[in-house]
A and B are shown apart, each in its own frame.
Chain A
Amino acid sequence: MNFVRVSTDAWGQQVLEGISWDLLPVAVALGAIVIIGHAIYRAIRKSR
């Protein structure tokens, strides 16, 4: 997985294009992990 998008310009030099959009599912997954983690913690606390 790449963290950034890079292209090659007319002179053969590498140019930074922006963040890699492969990271979009990672951002969603991070949010989901926090939500699911907290939901489990909340359920355990409630059951005690």
Chain B
Amino acid sequence: MIERKPTGIRGLDAILCGGIPVDRATLVLGGPGAGKTVLAMQMLANAAIGDNERGLFVSFEEAPDDLIAHLQGFGWGLSQLVADGLITIIDARLGIDTEMTGSIELDGFLGMMAAQAQAFGATRLVLDGIDLLLAMQPDRGRLLQQLFRLVGTLRDLKLTTILTIKTDGLGGNLPVDAAQYIVDCVLALERRLEGDVSVATLRVLKARGAPVTTNRFPLAITEAGLELLYQDVNSAHQVFSDRVSSGVERLDTMMGGGLYRGTTALISGAPGTAKTTLAGAMVDAACRRGDRALFVSFDEAEDQIVRNLASVSLDLGHHRQSGLLRMVSMRSASASAQQHIHRLRTVAEEFQPAMLVIDPISALVKGGGKVIADSLVEMLVDFVKSQGITTIFTALIEGSDPEREITQTHVSTMADTWLHLTFVAHGGERNRALSVVKSRGSAHSSQVRELILTDRGPTLKDVYSSGGHVLMGTARLERENADMAEQLRSRFRRQHERVRVSAQLDELKARIALLTAEMGAKQAEQMGLDDFDRVMAEREVAAAGSVLVSRSADGR
């Protein structure tokens, strides 16, 4: 197991599994302007500042004074480090009056370096532009032998060393090829054009004894020096179980209660689908809660966004004044994506927002090729998650196949929540429709809703679904009206029915009354007949009696 020392360069230690091998040589290859010298000196400066390690910088190309002047702009305070004796720069340029005949050897050079390292107590060494030295040894066999000796000597001297070699300088590639086999760790710096934007990258070509990633990583040259735009996959993401409101009530419901804090959301859609407005609503909600929010817009001035959002009652200007909202506007073409990301990260680290909006992420990844863009987005997502920042990306989609298009930009796979906005054209209207494509860890609505921008902010409306069709806007209104009429009609019908039935009931009641009366009459009639019969019978008896009396008939 090779012991490693951190380089102190952000990202690089992570991909090198801890840093460069201790007491061994690391080779840095690169074309002119790729950042070899900066990288080498930065490692010395970091070691000096961080661990009080002393370093020896042997410059084969630049005068020490020039070197200090060039690198003074980086925030390491190089001239002070040199004054403090933590970094010693040795001028190893060959004078212009130097001639050469025959060949040289490295024995003397190594001997002197050993003596110097001992004199200064140096544990780190940089040989910057050693290709000039190696080029003086034209014989391949001798060169290899010398290189082996160089590397061996450095190990004996316990010097953690950086060798830099130009890959497309003068001379053949012999030293480069040979050196790559001999050293334990090789880094390649590249600078190339992606479109019109210059993109710097770093790749680990070789690292003995470490399972390193040999992908190309984007590199940003910043005021702090080189920075590898790489976020360690093992970096702890902050995971929260509480949710933050999106500021759109019904949207929260659709997402199962809002966005989880510290997650990322993607709002995609065609131009004009209110992506920025939706993001603005989320920012407004964050600031209302008293959280800090950072709104990064590309190619649109901050004031313009504030004005536009004010028209839908999102008063971002107020939050800006209170200091809770910081708005940063960037020009997508003014810098490479790496520089944008670096700046973004710097501002975010300083401002410590709870919410970050990048509007749109598509502009950010415009500068720099596809591969770079993907790893940048990945890095950015890792970064915001490690910081626990709830992040909203908007993404502009113009093509006819949005799902495929956005997936290609990789953002959608990285984001935890994906809201997609579309225009639905129907009946001579274009209406905004919102759907939740995904929402990790949440039971989310599968329904499409209509997004309406009101003077009280954005809000969602149920869409009318009928017979497999989703209706919005006027179509939805018409449909709703038709339904209303139908309801009224049926209410009238029922009322009418009720009246008719009650009339029939009344009629029946009347008939019952009549019949009762008739029955009374009949009963009376019946009673009358009975009385008559009885009277007649009595009379008959009485009559019979009087006859007997008159006949003086004998009694019975």
A and B pair up: no
